Amino acid sequence: MTEDEDITQIAGNASDDIKRLLGKPCAYFTNLPPGPHGLIFGQSIVERLVVTEISVHRKAEEPKKLEGRLVCELVVDEDMVNGLGNIHGGCSAFLIDVCSSLALTALSMANTGDTYSSVSQSLNVVYHSPAALGDRIRLVNTTMTLGARAHSARTEIWNVTHHRLVSSGVHIKMQPSYPKANL
């Protein structure tokens, strides 16, 4: 399957450029500068994420503003579960972090044609119900703000297998500050 055939599988009104860049999350994150050991935390999980929709719409509450929406799916696998065989809370938080960041990047690209650099400032997660090993989950990510200093998005993780909300979160990101040279 070619790259263009891959993006035709992604629903939504985002441009083909945005779908090409964000449609394969692992490729997007591995194109970023690697960590000191060349590894990316949770890479085996991110490799399994399937992006199903990328859209940018006018906000219903404020039509002068745009909001990004990015939807991903994956199956809960052994490297994602706790001792009871349900998705680990830390894994849910990790998925919210990664997928909400992709939604914010989609909106940034739609607004400016470019990506942006940001780091997490806070992540608030509420756990609603379990998702067991083998369950299919859907992550629905919607941007809230994309300001000069702060960026925020909300995420809902749905258990597609059992039709219930697993967890929800709000992720706030900010522009990184760089160390000042000591003279």
Q: Which of 4-8, 19-23, 175-179 has the lowest mean pLDDT?
A: 4-8
CATH number of the CATH domain containing 111: 3.10.129.10
For position 36, what pLDDT does the model report? 60
180 found inside a domain? no
- Give me the mean pLDDT over the 156-183 stretch: 91
Domain total in the chain: 1
Residue 34 or residue 110, greater confidence: 110
The pLDDT value recorded for residue 182 is: 74
Examine residue 16 and state whether it is found in any structural domain, yes or no.
yes
- Answer whether residue 122 is part of any domain: yes
39 touches 32 (CB < 8 A)? no
Cβ–Cβ under 8 Å, residues 86 and 128: no
The pLDDT confidence band at residue 148, using thresholds 50, 70 and 90, is: confident
Show the domain range for 29.
Answer: 3-174
Q: How confident is the model at residue 105 (pLDDT cuts 50, 70, 90)?
A: very high
Which residues sit opposite 55 in a β-bridge?
A: 69
Asked if the structure places residue 181 within a domain, the reply is: no
The whole-number average pLDDT for the span 51-71 is 94
The pLDDT, as a whole number, for residue 121 is 93
Tens digit of each residue's pLDDT (9 = 90 or more) over 149-168: 899 999 999 999 999 999 99
Q: How confident is the model at residue 39 (pLDDT cuts 50, 70, 90)?
A: low
